[in-house]
Structures are given as C-alpha cells and as structure tokens.
Structure 1
Amino acid sequence: MQPLMTERDRADQDVITLLTHAFSLFMAGDPVGARHEAQMAALAVPASGPAQAALGDRLLSIDDAMGAEQALRTACDLGAGDADTLGRLARSLQAQGRLDEAADCFRQVLQLDPARAEACLNLGLMRLTRGAARGAVTLLRRAAHLVPTQASIRLLLAEAHQRAGGPDAAAAAETQRRAACALDPAWPAAAVALAESLVARGQVRAAQRALVRASRLDPGDPRLLSRCLHLRHLLPGQTQAALKRVHGGWQRRFGTPLPPRPPLQHRPGTPLRVGLVSPDLGAMPVGWLVRPLFRHRDPARLTLVALSDRPHDDAIARELQSLADHWEEVAGLGDEALAHRMRQLDLDILIDLSGHGPGNRLPVFARHRPAPIQVSWAGYPGDTGLRAIDLLVSDAVLTPPDDGSSPDAVARLATGATCYDPPPDRPDPGPAPRARTGAVTFGAFAGPARVGDTCLDLWAPVLRAVRGSRLHLCAPGWTDARAASRLRAGLRARNVDPARVTLDPAAGTPGLDRLQACRSLDVVLDTAPRSGHLVTLEALAMGVPVVTLPGASVGGRYAAAHLTHAGRPQGLAADADDVLARVDHVLTLPRTPALIDAAAWTAAMTTALEAAVFRLAADTGQALDDEDDSAVA
C-alpha cells in the first residue's frame, strides 16, 4: 500500500515537474532562460505555504536568489516558516549580500532548532568576517560538535581561534588543524594550515614536512611547492648552491615550456613603463622597501604601474597609491586574466616582488610572460629559479660575482639591492639606553620561526658574557604561550636565565612601532640562518648598531649587505667566536644614524632597469632567452 502524500509532498512534486526545464537550461549555461522558465512556472504554483517553500528551494538551486526570497517569504506568511524554510531564506539573503538580514534569519533557525549545523556554520562565518572572532569561536565550535567529521569546519574554527587571540589561541588553532588533517588526510589545505601553525611556533622542520606532504597530495599546484621553497630559507645549513638545485624543481614542473617574449615597444627618449606586482604593497616590509623608488624616481625616466594583489588600508598603501602613475587592484584575478591585463598596460619591465613567498604570482611570469623583460627584486632571498625571470636585482654582498650558484643575469647595485627611506616623523634616536639603565639591552625583531637553536647558540655566549644584560624580542608571534615556553627552555639549557628576556609582541610591526622600540635597544643581534632585512635598515636608521654573522645563502646575508653599504662593517663577525668581540666593539661606537642616500639609490636602480632594456633592444632577441647567457655585472 502506497503511503498517503501530504500537501507538501504533492506541492513539491508539482514544482519539481514545472522547474525541470528551467534547471536543464541552467545546467546548460543559460541562466537567463532558466530564470524566465522559473518565473513562468512560479505562476502555476499554488498559493500555499508548502508549495511556495518548495518553489523557493528550487529557485535557490538555479541561483535565482531574489525569486527564492520572494517565494520563501510568501511561504513564511502562509504559515510554512519552519527551520528549513528560514534557512533557505537566510541563504537567499546571503547570496544577495544582505548579511544583516541573513544573520537574523539564521538566529531564528537556531531558536527553532539549536542543532542546525548549517545555521551555526553560516552565522559563525559572518561573525568571523566582521571581526567578532570570539562569537565565531562559540558558533563554529557548536557546528564542529554537530558535524564532527567535517574537516573544513575545523579549519574555520582554527582561524577563529587565531583571530580571537590570547595566550592559548595558537595552541587551540593547531589542535583544530591537526583534527582536520586526521579527518581528511588527503586534503592539502589541512596540511598547509597545520604547517602555518607549526611555523608560527618555531617548529620549522615539522612545518616543512607538512608542506612537502601537501605538495605531494596536489602536485599540480605551483604555490604549494613555492611555500616549501620559501620555508627552506629558515632551515639551518642551507647553501646557495643547494637552494638553486631545489628551486630548479619548480622550473621543471611549472616553468616549461618557456613562453615567447613579447616584443619590446619602448621608444628611446620616453620613460620606461615599469610594473610592480605584489600582495604586500602596504605597511609591510615590501611596501617600505619599494617606497624609495616611488618617492625619488625621475618621472622622465620611469613610469610606475603598481599592481596590488591584496587590498591594504594603511598609510603606506595610501602613500604608494598617491605616488604611482597608475595603481590597480588585481586581487581575485586568475593567472590568465592578470596576464591579459598586464599586456594591456604595455609594460616594458615587470617586477616580481614576492618570489616564492605567500601570495606570489610566479605562474604568470613563468607561463604567460606578459612583459618583454621580467625582473625579480626586493621580496625574496635570491634567485627564484625561473628561466622566465630575465634579471635579478641584487648587490655584490648578497650575490657575489664569483658565486657559481648565482643566476645568469644579475644587476649588482653598488648602493645595495634595497634602500630604506624612513618616515619624516620618525622618533629621535636618543642616547644609548645603557647610559640610563646601567645595563646593556640587546634586541631582535623576530618571532619564533626566526629564533631557533641556531640563534640561541649565537646569542647565549653574548648574554652570559655581558653581565646584567637583557634580551628584548619584538614580534607578534610571542603571544603564543608554547613558543615562549620553548624559548625559555632553550635559554635555560644554555645557562641563560629566562627572566632576562622580555617578549614584546606589540613592537614587531614595521614602521614607527619598530623605530620607537629601537630607542630602548643598545645592540640588535641579527637572526640566523635567516638574516634581518628591513629590521636591519630600521635599526641603522635609528643609530642602533647591528651585529651579524653572515650566512652561506642570500637570506643569511641581508644584514651583512646593509652594514656594508651603510658604512658600518664593524658589526660583521668572522665566525661564531667573533660575535662577542663585535658586540664589545660596537658598544664603544657613538650612536649615530646610518642611512643610504635614497635619491642616489633610486638613480642606480633606474640605471640598472634602463640597461636591461638597452641590452634587449641591441640584442638579437635570443641572448636573454638562452640558458648560457653571460653574467651581467
């Protein structure tokens, strides 16, 4: 005997029949036709609550959010406003961007049925995107409890914990990311998220293993391999030759065949059109490092086109935008769309500012080559390994001429690969704080990922030898209680009292915060194996001496390059045993700022870019494409 059909069952069946053609049109790629058919079908749907609710459900399935909203509201008015109908109404409002109304609907759903995971998830996401991270944690935790097998909810909950902050936030986030990996071992995103948690608390080798696993799970994603390469610079024992070998793997997997070079359109006597692409054109290290080029360039020689791949709302982003000849937000554009837009801009030179760093667009350079000359500069330690990159802007300290692991074409600027132009309202350097406190204060602007065993092995003898000295570590990552505990254990194992260390998470951001923090330091101790880049320039600008042991790779020689070009070689240690001697020496020097002339540096950078264009214009068009190009001095 067939069960009796309810009114809702009959209405639902009628609507399915009426909308079959509409859904077929939608799936065939005709959304306009589908909506027209749906509107015609809606006229035949009876004015009953169940029928209107079923109609709203089907309209949602063909992305007709406005029509769905109308039908679902009618269903509620006719007494069919149950949790299912309200949930669909919330989704239709969400699809129209009416988030406040959608949130109200999801709250009504939870009042009717507190066990609705979808409502918890959506409401939690809304709170997370609006900065209410603590409220998001509560809702997403409930969603994870209701659907314990869904890994994606665990990653969202981890993100909510991270944004909520607090000493236990990083540990809670890592726990959720580990749970996501356990629930879905084949999901690369879960492995990547876990790796980021491990990096944040200084577990770099474990993070590298997680990233390698993610890259093997999705071998077709070039950005996963890029993240592996980027992280290698934090591992001890890396040589430039070894880094060149592993970077060559990215080229072999994602950079072949080499795309043809667009013709050079530049006319002599006109300024070069130079594009710069980065997700970090704001108050971040890259933003500060490109700022001198924007401020001091000669418009008759350079036209700057900035392609910002992530929105920033800060003073540096606004300044760069006001100084650029053309500024364009390109976040969200796929690789092909971005390459097409770059070609429309008629660039002579395109500069990559990210290398293999997070958010990079290297596939655009490697697979599409949208500009005649492609350059790597500022944002990555050394060579990316891409054959489609024609020129690396560097200097003789970072990339020595006799280094066989260097890329073929290198512009070695005599003034240094990068420059720092401090803000006009930077604080006065002031006297050395030890004159006031009677004790030496060492400092480093580095988080747990940078301060590992290599650093502690270099710093501990200095702290033991300089009686009464203190170590001040400034970086946001020190809010992680486990990272702080690991640091203290490492110091204790090296016979250094952890009470001599002050952790200041608030003073680690580039700009005025770090410059102000420099006033309280007598000496900056450089990190290893990854050396301080912008932080070294900021310290020198404030007259604070820096002591470094140059490393074997480009990433380990940033501070050495800046000290050399700023005329402060006294801080360069010959080996680990020489670090203390360098500290003793720089403590005897007067506290005077050391700045590279930003205008002179910009002129040298401009000349290097012009030389690249002149070489290409005078060439047959093949030399820069050949693997055996001669080095460019």
Structure 2
Amino acid sequence: MSAPLDSEQSHDPQANVQQLFNQAVHWHRQRNFSQALEVYQQVLSLEPNHVDVRVNMGSLLKQMGRLEDAIATQKKALTLQPNRSDIWFNLGNTLQAQGNAAEAESAFRQSIQLQPNLAAAHFNLGRLLQQQEQLEVAAICYRAAISHNPQLTRAHTNLGNTLKALGRFDEAVRCHQQAIALSPNDPEAHYNLGNALSAQGNDAAAILAYQESLRSRPEWLEAHLRLVALLQEQKNFTAAEQQLKQARIHHPQNADVVTRLALVLKAQRRFEDAIALLKRLLSQNPANAAAHCNLGSVYSDQGRFEDAIAHLRQALQLDPDLTQAHINLGFTLGVVGQVSGAITHCQKAIALEPDSASAYINLGFALTAQGRIPEAIASFQTLLKLEPDYHPAQSNFLYALNYDSSYSRDFIAEAHRRWGAQEQAKVTTLPSYSIDQPLRIGYLSPDFRQHSVAYFIEPILKHHDREAFQVYCYANVAVPDADTERIKALGHLWRDVYALTDEQLADLIQEDHIDILIDLAGHTGNNRLPVFARQPAPIQITYLGYPNTTGLTTMNYRITDALADPPGLTECDYTETLIRLPQCFLCYQPPPNAPPVNNLPALTTGNLTLGSCNNLAKLSPQVIECWAKILQALPEAQLLMKMRCLDDPPTQERFWRLFAQHDISRERVQLYGPLQDSAEHLAFYHRLDLALDPFPYNGTTTTCESLWMGVPVITLAGQTHVSRVGLSLLSTVGLAKWVTYSPEAYVERVIAATLDLEKLATLRSTLRSTMAVSALCNAEDQTRALEHLFSKISCSL
C-alpha cells in the first residue's frame, strides 16, 4: 500500500503527481520494488504520459527481472520523447540483459548519436561487442569512452582485456597500468595486469601483479590458481606449494586446490605426501574423477603402474570425457608396453581436445614404440603446427627421423640445423669464461638410472682421475632408482636438476665454473639441449646418447670414432666438430649377473635360431623384408623377437601380418615381451644361434649384450653414424667379417653361417673372453683417452 495523501494534496492534481513520484523514487532507492512499482503506477493513472515515470519504471522492472515489461515501458517512453539519449541507453541495457544483442547494439548507437559524449554508452556498446568477439570495434568504443571520461577505470580495464585478446600485449599492459593508477587498490586491475603480463611473457612481473591482487582480496581463488600456474612453469614448486596452502585457508574444501597441491608435491617427488592428500580427498568424495586421474598420475610417476592404471580407469568410468585421464592412461599404458591401448586413449583425448600437446606427444611415443614411424612423425608434425616452440615435440620429431630411411640424410641434417638455429635465436647473450686447473667436467644426463646410457657412462665415471679432473654429474632424472644411487655413490659432485628450468640450470653450471660440459642425451627423452644453446660452459660436447647431430652450433664437439664416422664421410651431417677416439667410441660395462654362455643351440636342434631384442621402432619395412628373405632361404630356421610391447596382442598381430606379407607364417616368428629381471633377459640369448641387427638404425646395447652372451651379430653398415655403430662394435671385438654392406650380402652372410655350425659353436665359446680383453670393455684406457681429449681441447681456447 502507498502512503496516504493529506487532503490538501487531493485538491491539486499536479502536486499529487509530484509527491507520488517523489514517494516512488524514495521506495525505488530503498529497493522496496513492489511499493515503488505500485506508486509509479498510481502516477501513470493520473498522468499517463509522464515520461520520467516510465523511464524509472523501466529500470525498476529490469531490476525485478521482468525484462519484457521493462522493454515495453522503455519503448513507450521513447514514443513520448524519442530524442532522449538516456532512454535509448537504458533500453540498450535491458535488451542486452534479455540477450537481444542486435537490438541492444542499435539502442546504444542511437544513444551515442543523440549524445556523443556519453561515456557510459560507448562503454556498454564496447562491452556488448567484446562479448560478441567483435574485438577491434569494441576497442574503438572503449577508447571513445576513455576520451570522454578518462577516469573511467573499467574502460581502461576492458580495453586492456580486449587488446590482450587481440594479441596486442604491450598495449594491454599499458591499459591495465593506467587502470591501476586510477584505482591502486583494485584487485581486479592488478589481476588483469597479471594476465596481460603473463601473455606478454613477462612472468616475473605477472607474479608480482597477482600477489598485489591477493593483498587486496586474499580469498580470490582464481588469482591464487593463476599465480600457482606461473610458479609451476618456473619450477618454483616451493613457492607454489606455499601459495596453495594460502588458498586452502580460504577454500579448505576446494577439490581443485587440493589436487593442484598434490601435483606440486608430485613435482617435488614427494609422492607419498601427494598420495595421502589425494586419498583423503577421495575418502570425502569417492566419485571425484579428477582426483582419481591425478592419483593415477602420481602412481605412474612413482613407477606403481598397476595402481596408476586402476585409478585412471576409475576416473574414466566416472567421467568418460575426462581428457587428462585419457592422456595419463595413454602415457602409462605406453610405459608398460600396452601400446595399442595407449594409442586408443591418446586418440580419444585428441577427439575431445584437438589442441592437446600432451595427447599428441604421447600418441607419438606409442606409435614409435609400436614401430609405426611414419605415423609417429605425422603426430609430432601436427603437434609442432599447434605449438612450434614445444621442445619435447621438436626433439621427438628429430629423433624419429633417424628410424625412417625414406628421409634423406640431407633432409635430416637440415631439420636438426633448423631446430638448432631457432633455439639459439632465443638466447640474446652468452657468458664469458675462463678455464682453470684442474679441469671441471660436467656430465648432463636424464639417464643416470636403469638405462642403456648408464651401461656406457658408468665405467667412465668409475675410472676418472680425481686429481686431474673434478667431475660433476647433473642428473636430470625424473624418477631415481637403484642404478641412480649406485652411480651417485661413485663420489663425484652430484646435482639433482630435474626441477630446474633451463635458465636456472644454466646459471648453476656457470656458478660451478664447469670448463667442459658434456651432453649424454642428444634429442632423446628429457634432454636439456636448450641449456646448451645458452652455452653455460666454454666447451660443450655431445657424446653417447644420440646417433646424430644436436643441430646446435654452440655444441662445439661430438665424440665418435673413425669407423662410425670415417673422415670425409659424415662431417656434413653435423653442426659439431667431430673428434675421434683412437678405439671404439663406446665403452661397455658387462652386467655382473650375466649367466654363463651355453652351447650352440643349433648343435642340438639342427636348425638355426635367429633373434633380435632391438626396439620395434628400428624394424623398418626393409628390415622385415630382409629377415623374411632369410627365413625363405632357410625353411627350417626360426626367428625369435623379444622386445618391449611384443606382449601386447594387437602389436603381435601387426608384426605377424608384416611377415605374412612375405609368406612367412606366424609359427616361424615367435614374439616375446620384455623380461624384467636382467639375468633372465640375458638368458634369452641361450636360445639364439645368431642375432640380427636392424638397419638403418643399428643396435647398441643389444649388440653388446648379444656378444657378451656369445651370440655373434650380423649388421649392415651404411653411410651415416646411425647405421655404422654395428660396424664399430663388431670390428672392435674382431668380428669385422660379420659386417655386410648390402641387404643381399646380409642375407648371404646368415646363410653362410649355417654351413659350419662347429665354427659357429667355437666362436660362441670364445666370444666373451675375446670381448672382455678388447677395447670395448677396457674402461681404464677409454677414460684415459677421453681425459687426454679433454685436456687437448681445453688448451685450444
């Protein structure tokens, strides 16, 4: 009910109208909407064409959510006074609230036409256009609003956000800085500045902006999460952990905060703490798919693959469209050799999120592991189109090229050089150096663990002259194991660097005053080649881990030998200068648990048993064709293949089909998955008479293991390092006659071995002792040769 009017008011209709209008405005301001509406309607009953009542009623009805009535009222007002800018402005706001963008835009433009200096109309039109992603026009509107009202903070903010969306980051930063100058304590202004600075690539300043935002609004969850994301990118996990703990004070039950904290703990290798946190979250909400996904990820990194797979499958049962769960499950299945399942889940992730870098790179891993190299290369190429600067994709693409003989050596060399030039272009300054005595040697590797590289570098580390050289081991090891601890126990200066950014690692190497920095990974997994682009040491060398160039001109040298890289043959393939050791460039450490060599199986069976333990990526179509010809020529012979992924049924079927294309039945090709126990793995060679080396990518560790178990290896030497490692290894142990130079000769050499089984048996019985005294296993001489090389090249500076 409206307030009663006194009797004097009733005698003056105009006075009654004004008093009623004032009452309605009062109730309107008090947000007593029903009372205000009733009085406005009383005014209209006395004066139907009262424009200001209709203006106010339109606003009131909009506030009450009665948008249709509000629009009708505002349009009625315009029929009475069509040239009122404020009515057009209000109508535009109501139409926008209704979702009628086209008519709202028309109303705002009419308002501006009638009153060009109305900053609010320019601002609201800009906001409408920004929501419709008409960004260029929206920016014009915001600039117009600022020109008419330079103090309009929101216009500076929205203009900054619009320019950021347009990729004009520098301008966006300046807009947000102006907003902060107008409203220094506005948390949103600092937050938006942080977003623009982050997009600009100025992460350090962005972190400060987010921190300033949180000072004014410490409970702001999104600001906490943005800040944490930047700290994680910088690998500042301690600060990220502290920030998430601050967020939990205000949001103790927020599942997103808890899961992010668990991932930060995982990054610090505090696996048990992360697991406990996620288990607690799941005890409160067992149906939290994201928590199952992240718990699975932690278990995977910890090496608890069965637990990881169980939780990741549970996550997908709860949420079949959870992209990250498909990605994590794809990765984990790939690690355990279930590559067909890995491929399926990666493809599902890509279908859900076509721009997912992790999905494409995990798909590439799985395809490589299954031997589908052209498809793996295509996956890496697709990813590089999406993220051209994504280093893991670049390295995996380059690495995969080594397996595919359809690419010319010039193409592969140029691809490496192109990457190296792009990486070095990111570095603006290089440090200055001085070399002191004794020399400080730094070995940087992700493979100070159970890995083939460890077999070749551990004997070198054991025999280094500690008086003449100070040795630093920079371990970029994601999950250390017993082999890591054994190598660490050799007593050299040890640096765990997995959690460091490239900049932080380069700074650490400079602080250690390393004279010669040695890369042991090349473009293999978890490499740190971008550190070498920064040249933190005066001399940089690549060795052991990769059968090709790094592509960096800041990598001064590459260690090899005269058989793997004959003078005049391969220099054109490298950006590095080749330095050749006098013997084989490799030094093999035989496993202490290797079983004794047995008698030649063919003496008992009467038939030759051939075998290979090389990874499937090396089994090119040419290799399959060649091996099939051997089996065709030796109808009683069998081929045994033991490799990771060959216990995966679809992968088995794939290789049986490949041999079937050459009329070789599956009964003659026995496929075995990996054996976890190293002694059991080596005992597999007891079943083989002769090992077959793949090409163009020769085996290395597999060749050494075969020879140590008394099984000679047939290899095919080519024109590049990757295809000449077998030549170097076999020649070093006196088996140069087992090196061939064409597929035809390869086949003939295997056939010839069947003609004198007694000779093959004698070779088997003496091969281990011959290898033991060869240069391949002489760690002391190999280390002295390396040290001589290090001293010589250090004097050249």
TM-score (normalizing by structure 2): 0.64
Q: Which amino acid aligns with 1:409?
A: T
CA distance 1:59–1:171, change in 2 (3 Å): same
Q: Which amino acid aligns with 1:232?
A: L
Aligned partner (choices 401, 426, 435) of residue 265 of structure 1: 435
Q: 2:592 is paired with a residue of what secondary structure?
A: coil
Separation (CA, whole Å) in 2 of partners of 1:59 and 1:259: 34
8 Å CA contact 2:674–2:681 kept in 1: the answer is no
8 Å CA contact 1:304–1:324 kept in 2: the answer is no
Q: 1:477 is paired with a residue of what secondary structure?
A: coil
Which structure has the higher relative contact order (CA within 8 Å, separation 6+)?
1
8 Å CA contact 2:290–2:315 kept in 1: the answer is no
Q: How many residues align?
A: 560
Q: Which amino acid aligns with 1:383?
A: T
Separation (CA, whole Å) in 2 of partners of 1:125 and 1:382: 33
> Which residue matches 1:332?
499
> Which residue matches 1:444?
612
Q: Which amino acid aligns with 1:452?
A: S
Separation (CA, whole Å) in 1 of partners of 2:467 and 2:210: 50
Q: 1:506 is paired with a residue of what secondary structure?
A: coil
Separation (CA, whole Å) in 1 of partners of 2:461 and 2:245: 46
Structure 1: 5+ residue stretches without partners: 5-19, 40-54, 74-84, 617-633
Q: In the alignment, does 2:774 pair up with 1:604?
A: no
Could you give the per-residue CA deviations for residues 336-386 of structure 1, whole angstroms, max 9, x where no partner exists? 1000000111111000111111211111111x1011100011011132221
Could you give the per-residue CA deviations for residues 156-197 of structure 1, whole angstroms, max 9, x where no partner exists? 34235446x58xx43332122112223333333322222122
Aligned partner (choices 125, 136, 143) of residue 311 of structure 2: 136
Could you give the per-residue CA deviations for residues 491-540 of structure 1, whole angstroms, max 9, x where no partner exists? 1221222112222222488x545433223221110011210011112222
Q: 2:691 is paired with a residue of what secondary structure?
A: strand
Aligned partner (choices 524, 527, 537) of residue 704 of structure 2: 537
Q: 1:476 is paired with a residue of what secondary structure?
A: coil
Map of 1:289-328 to 2, 5 A cutoff?
289-328=456-495
8 Å CA contact 2:718–2:741 kept in 1: the answer is no
> Which residue matches 1:384?
550
Q: In the alignment, does 2:796 pair up with 1:615?
A: yes
Displacement of 1:235 in angstroms is 0.1
Map of 1:437-476 to 2, 5 A cutoff?
437-476=605-644
8 Å CA contact 1:469–1:500 kept in 2: the answer is yes
Q: In the alignment, does 2:208 pair up with 1:29?
A: yes
Q: In the alignment, does 2:659 pair up with 1:484?
A: no
Aligned partner (choices 105, 111, 127) of residue 281 of structure 2: 105
Displacement of 1:454 in angstroms is 1.5
8 Å CA contact 1:455–1:527 kept in 2: the answer is yes
Displacement of 1:310 in angstroms is 1.0
Displacement of 1:296 in angstroms is 2.3
CA distance 1:30–1:532, change in 2 (3 Å): same
Aligned partner (choices 584, 591, 602) of residue 434 of structure 1: 602
Displacement of 1:153 in angstroms is 3.7
Could you give the per-residue CA deviations for residues 601-625 of structure 1, whole angstroms, max 9, x where no partner exists? 2222222222211222xxxxxxxxx
Q: Which has the higher helix share?
A: 2
Q: In the alignment, does 2:566 pair up with 1:417?
A: no
The percentage of aligned residue pairs carrying the same residue is 24
CA distance 1:365–1:134, change in 2 (3 Å): closer
CA distance 1:22–1:534, change in 2 (3 Å): same
Displacement of 1:389 in angstroms is 1.0
Q: Which amino acid aligns with 1:541?
A: W
Separation (CA, whole Å) in 2 of partners of 1:218 and 1:69: 33
Separation (CA, whole Å) in 2 of partners of 1:242 and 1:70: 56
Map of 1:618-633 to 2, 5 A cutoff?
none
Q: 1:449 is paired with a residue of what secondary structure?
A: helix
Moved more, 122-131 or 201-210: 122-131
Q: In the alignment, does 2:376 pair up with 1:207?
A: yes
Moved more, 536-545 or 312-321: 312-321
Q: 1:443 is paired with a residue of what secondary structure?
A: strand
Separation (CA, whole Å) in 1 of partners of 2:383 and 2:416: 17
Map of 1:72-151 to 2, 5 A cutoff?
85=253, 87=255, 94=262, 97=273, 99-110=275-286, 114=287, 117-119=289-291, 121-122=293-294, 124-125=296-297, 131=304, 132-145=307-320, 148=321, 151=323
Could you give the per-residue CA deviations for residues 565-603 of structure 1, whole angstroms, max 9, x where no partner exists? 221112111321212332245553421222422222222
Separation (CA, whole Å) in 2 of partners of 1:92 and 1:189: 18
8 Å CA contact 1:202–1:451 kept in 2: the answer is yes
Q: Which amino acid aligns with 1:604?
A: A
8 Å CA contact 1:265–1:348 kept in 2: the answer is yes
8 Å CA contact 1:375–1:392 kept in 2: the answer is yes
Q: In the alignment, does 2:411 pair up with 1:232?
A: no
8 Å CA contact 2:214–2:220 kept in 1: the answer is no
Q: 1:518 is paired with a residue of what secondary structure?
A: helix
Could you give the per-residue CA deviations for residues 395-436 of structure 1, whole angstroms, max 9, x where no partner exists? 112111012525462111121111102133322122222233
CA distance 1:607–1:90, change in 2 (3 Å): closer
Moved more, 232-241 or 482-491: 232-241
8 Å CA contact 1:200–1:477 kept in 2: the answer is yes
Moved more, 237-246 or 589-598: 237-246
8 Å CA contact 2:447–2:454 kept in 1: the answer is yes
- CA RMSD across the alignment: 3.2
8 Å CA contact 2:440–2:515 kept in 1: the answer is yes
Could you give the per-residue CA deviations for residues 11-41 of structure 1, whole angstroms, max 9, x where no partner exists? xxxxxxxxx97888897738988888789xx
CA distance 1:457–1:138, change in 2 (3 Å): closer
Displacement of 1:90 in angstroms is 5.1
CA distance 1:554–1:599, change in 2 (3 Å): same
Q: 2:311 is paired with a residue of what secondary structure?
A: helix
CA distance 1:121–1:313, change in 2 (3 Å): closer
8 Å CA contact 2:510–2:537 kept in 1: the answer is yes
Q: Which amino acid aligns with 1:155?
A: I
> Which residue matches 2:539?
373
Moved more, 191-200 or 150-159: 150-159
CA distance 1:264–1:537, change in 2 (3 Å): farther
